[in-house]
Chain A
Amino acid sequence: MKRFFGFVVKEFYHISRDRRTLLILFGIPVIQILFFGFAITNELKNVRIAILDQSKDVVTDRITDKILSSGYFILEKNLQTNDQVWQTFKEGKVRAVVCFQPQFAKHLESDKKASVQIIADASDPNTANMITTYISAIVSSYSTELLNGQQIPYAISTQVRMFYNPDLKGIFMFVPGVMVLILMMVSTTLTSISITREKEMGTMEVLMVSPLNALSVIVGKVTPYLFLSLINCASIVLLSVYVFGMPIQGSIVLLFAEAALFIFAALAIGIYISTIANSQQSAMLISNLGLNLPTIMLSGYMFPVSSMPLPLRWLSNVVPARWFITIVKGIMLKGVGIEYLWKETLVLIFMAVFFTFLSVRNYKVRME
């Protein structure tokens, strides 16, 4: 036990001497969370639009007012002719143009029907989609106003409620993803690099000849990283709760227990990588290409798993992050307990055990 402790102390020396890694270790989670939280939002704000009003009557004025007073849009300019629409898009000054048909109010009065055309710049498809949705909603809310209590014979109305994230805040989606990426980076990449470094330096041989057994070496190697990962995890949770108002609906103890389980699995993978890689570079390559990339692509963090083609959906099952993201979302946003997350938990336990077994076996073979 004393030996093991001495080993862990040595590992902390290594980590503390490497200032750059230390900075990355604690700087990246904070920067990423702030970055995702402030810079990347799915909400519309101050979108510049133009209006082509060929009618200029009371009704179009009212609708224009409503659009501009919503806070989402800013009027860049008023257009006079159709030709100007293309011109303004080419200039890139507006994201959308709202066109009212000529004699808008008159048509509305006589035909009970008038149309508004919304032209959006879809070179950025997501934003275009949101802009048209927002404007349509404003227009239709105005037409509801016009009805003003009058009964129409049939109407099916949809009532939308967004559960778990009513404001559709983007940060809620990014927090689990960032957490997973950071934990992977610290637990898997850094651990595999630190073990292969001992191999490269030749100190691993010396350790193997010492009375310290292989298991103590491995456990001693990963303990500091387990510790650092938990600190990172806590800092991410603190930031997302206190800066971005993300709720923790479920049990915080369960959240950290699951995080510890995920870290354990990630560490086991890191050790496994170090048994197949002989240099720090190859360890880094394997963990980046073989692990971090699939984590981003296949975990459901950026792209929903359910809309992937079948082979990729299958592949996503072997990505530990996929299961952990479900767990984090479940605990933080939905407030569910282990009774709904036992399946994901079991998968992570299995992965942790599997990779521990594999690396212990590989480790012995290599020592032969």
Chain B
Amino acid sequence: MENEHIIRVESLTKRFGDFIAVNNISFEVKKGEIFGFLGANGAGKTTAIRILTGLSAATSGKAIVAGYDVNENPEKVKKEIGYMSQKFSLYEDLTLKENITFYGGMYGMKYRDIKAKTKELVERFDLGSVQNELISSLPQGWKQKLAFSVAILHNPKIIFLDEPTSGVDPYTRRQFWLMMYEAASHGVTLFVTTHYMDEAEYCNRISIMVDGRIDALGSPSALREQFNAKDMDEVFRIVAQNKKT
């Protein structure tokens, strides 16, 4: 069972004074799953992710991530996870190689492993000519893919992606999702937030947060059936509207 559910959240709550940002949420994420974490702006997604990644302490409830309780062992959790923010997260004034060396070092990777990984990445994306160029000189689409590659550099069990494809063209988005599928096929769990409903369709399962609660949870097809909707876009609107009334 421990191996099955790589993330287990039970009655997780976060209050800021009177405001309840995360209201008693519970869910599980299976190993190797692409889990879509949806919700309107301000629904509490970011707060929930911050708790799961050990950046913020929960007010009450429990979250087990990669086998450790985040509240008790945030440092152990941090070693097992990767993170990619919506802002592009490589250093623009460093070369690709330097970025990889830096992030690899942060996760305590051995120099030999970093070197091997760099070689692998360079061959895979055919980057031989640009590996010593500053990141700022690379096209945007590449940067996004490289950021993802760097985020999985240290073989994390889970990667948290906070709107990784915002502001990216459709072609690059597709490529990006292909990379995510490939990672998932190797057993990496992907926990992704997005505002694109077509992307939600690509997820194995999704949850929709409204006002701090999870109001819908299931595979895209199950949710469509449940809400009698033709696509995820409609599901999202129905769920979001229900809660306003």
B interface footprint on A1-39 (CB within 8 Å = 1, 0 otherwise): 011011101100110011000000000000000000000
In the assembled complex, A257 has its CB within 8 A of some CB on chain B: no
Task: Determine the residue in chain A with the shortest Cβ distance to B99.
Answer: A10
Decide yes or no whether B191 CB sits under 8 A from chain A.
no
B107 adjacent to A211 (CB under 8 Å) = yes
B54 contacts across to A, CB distance below 8 A: 209
User: 0/1 per residue, B119-146, Cβ < 8 Å to A?
Assistant: 0000000000000001000000000000
By the criterion CB–CB under 8 Å, are B107 and A202 in contact? no
Give the secondary structure class of B's interface: loop
Closest A residue to B105 by beta carbon equals A6
Q: At the interface, yes or no: B57 with Cβ under 8 Å from chain A?
A: yes
Shortest CB distance B95–A (Å): 9
Let me know if B85 and A202 touch, CB within 8 A: yes
Contact between A3 and B56, CB atoms less than 8 A apart: no
Residues of B within 8 A of A208 (CB): 55
Q: Does A293 contact B (CB under 8 A)?
A: no
Contact B108 A14 (CB under 8 A): no
A93-119 CB contacts (< 8 Å) to partner B: none
Assess whether B93 is in contact with A18, with CB atoms less than 8 Å apart. yes
Are B160's CB and A209's CB within 8 A? yes
Contact with A along B89-124 (1 / 0, CB 8 A): 111111000100111011110000000000000000
* Given A208-B55, A209-B78, A2 and B102 contact (CB-CB distance below 8 Å): no
B86 near A202 with CB under 8 A, answer yes
Whole-angstrom CA separation of A185 from B17 in the bound complex:
39
Query: Contacts of B56 on A, CB cut-off 8 Å?
Result: 367-368
Closest B-chain residue to A217, C-beta based?
A: B106
Contact of B75 among A203, A207, A213 (CB under 8 A): A213
| Minimum CB distance partner of A2 in chain B | B105
Least CB separation from B136: chain A residue: A17
Q: Mask for A181-225, Cβ within 8 A of B = 1, else 0? A: 000000000000000000001110111111111000000000000
A209: which B residues are within 8 A, CB to CB?
Answer: 53-55, 78, 81, 83, 160
B237 in contact (CB, < 8 A): no
Collect the chain B residues with CB atoms within 8 Å of residue A6's CB: 101-102, 105-106
| SS of A interface (majority) | helix
B5 at the interface (CB under 8 A from A): no
Please determine whether A368 and B57 come into contact, CB atoms closer than 8 angstroms.
yes
User: Is B227 close to A, CB under 8 A?
Assistant: no
Closest CB of chain A to B148's CB: distance in Å?
12
**Number of A positions contacting B (CB below 8 A):** 25
A13–B106 touching, CB < 8 Å: no
Shortest C-beta distance, B163 to chain A (Å), equals 11
Residue pair A3, B93 in contact (C-beta under 8 Å): no
In this assembly, does B79 line the interface, its C-beta being within 8 Å of a C-beta of chain A?
A: yes
Cβ–Cβ contact A10 & B107, under 8 A:
no
- What's the least CB distance linking B118 to chain A, in Å? 14
Smallest Cβ distance from A195 to chain B, in angstroms? Answer: 14
Is the CB–CB distance between B93 and A203 below 8 Å?
no
Distance (Å) between the CB of B135 and the closest chain A CB? 11
On chain A, the residues within 8 Å of B98 by CB distance are 10, 13
A17, A202, A207, A213: which contacts B134 (Cβ < 8 A)? Answer: A17
A150-205 residues with Cβ-Cβ distance < 8 A to B are: 201-203, 205
Cβ-defined contact, A205 with B102, below 8 A: no
For chain B residues 187-236, which have a beta carbon within 8 Å of chain A? Answer: none
Who on chain B is nearest to A18 by CB? B93
B106, A212: Cβ atoms closer than 8 Å: yes
With contacts A7-B106, A13-B94, A17-B134 taken as known, whether A211 is within 8 angstroms of B78 at the C-beta atoms is yes
Cβ of B68 under 8 Å from chain A: no
Contact assessment for B85 and A211 in the assembled complex, using a CB-CB cutoff below 8 Å: no
Chain A, residue nearest B86 (CB):
A202
Instruction: For B85, list chain A residues within 8 Å (CB).
Output: 202, 205-206
State whether the Cβ of B174 lies closer than 8 Å to any Cβ in chain A.
no
Do A202 and B88 form a contact, CB below 8 Å, given A17-B93, A211-B75, A367-B56?
yes
Q: Residue B106 contacts which of A3, A202, A205, A368 (CB distance < 8 angstroms)?
A: A3
Q: How far apart are the CA atoms of A206 and B53 in the complex, in Å?
A: 10
The 5 closest A-B pairs by CB, nearest first: A202-B87, A6-B105, A209-B83, A17-B93, A206-B89
For this complex, 7 residue pairs linking A to B, each with C-beta atoms less than 8 Å apart, are A3-B108, A6-B105, A10-B91, A13-B93, A202-B85, A203-B89, A209-B160
Given contact pairs A205-B55, A210-B106, A213-B75, enumerate 18 new A-B contacts (beta carbons under 8 Å): A2-B108, A3-B105, A6-B105, A9-B102, A10-B91, A10-B94, A13-B93, A14-B94, A201-B88, A202-B87, A203-B89, A203-B90, A205-B89, A209-B53, A209-B54, A211-B78, A211-B107, A368-B56
